[in-house]
Amino acid sequence: MSSANPGYHGIEAGAEIAPRQYQVTRADLVRYAGASGDFNVIHWNERIAKAVGLPDVIAHGMYTMALAGRFLTEWAGDPAAVTEYGVRFSAPVVVPDDDKGATVEVSGVVTGKLDGNKVTVDVTARSGDMKVLTRAHATVRLPGGLPQGGDPLESP
């Protein structure tokens, strides 16, 4: 996979994580509502969403955060690799009632290296021309193996 991380020792601040696009449909929101226990009607009922002043049904902010979290954990190769993760929900992801739904594009850049094979990452998530997550930062633990060809035991 082109977006696979090169491991802690092979990465430097400034490295970009290849962007990924995620489709979000009404069915995804219903499934997420069930799995998360968040049944706020604005995430599945267009009539009420519009009645309370929203453009249409909107995705759970937590669903968008979860997609961006998945972006990070799939890059790290471990669903438990993200030790700190925070976001601000800057705009809703509006999900129309069609088969295509909304598109969320997530990208990331490594901003620093910490002890313990951890790196800090800034994440960007957009839907249409809106940034849907801002101030999205994470700490991600990467595999600590030695860089390719760098095994000191076999070095002269």
- Residue from 27, 124, 18 nearest 75 by CA: 18
φ, ψ at 42 (rounded to 5°): -65, -10
Look at the alpha carbons of 63, 64, 68, 69 in this order and tell me if their dihedral is positive or negative.
negative
The answer to whether residue 89 forms part of the interface with another protein (CB under 8 A) is: yes
d(CA 15, CA 1): 16
Q: Which stretch binds another protein (CB under 8 A): 5-13, 72-80, 103-111, 120-128?
A: 72-80
83 lines the binding site for another protein (CB under 8 A):
yes
**Could you tell me the smallest distance in angstroms from the CB atom of residue 90 to another protein?**
9
Is residue 67 a contact point for another protein (CB under 8 A)?
Answer: yes
The backbone torsions φ and ψ at residue 47, rounded to the nearest 5 degrees and listed phi first, read -60, -50
Count the site residues for another protein by CB under 8 A.
42
| Torsion angle of C-alpha atoms 117, 108, 54, 99, degrees rounded to 10 | -100
- What distance in Å separates the CA atoms of residue 118 and residue 128, rounded to the nearest whole number? 32
User: Which residue in 40, 147, 148, 150 binds another protein (CB under 8 A)?
Assistant: 40
Among 72, 102, 106, 125, binds another protein (CB under 8 A): 72
Give 11 or 62: the residue with its C-beta nearer to another protein.
Answer: 62
Query: What is the rounded CA–CA span in Å between residue 71 and residue 108?
Result: 9
Compare residues 15 and 41 and give the one whose CB is closer to another protein: 41
Q: Contact between 106 and another protein (CB under 8 A)?
A: no
What residues make contact with another protein under the rule CB under 8 A?
22, 28, 31-32, 34-38, 40-42, 48, 52-53, 58, 60-63, 65-67, 69-70, 72-74, 78-80, 82-89, 92, 135, 138
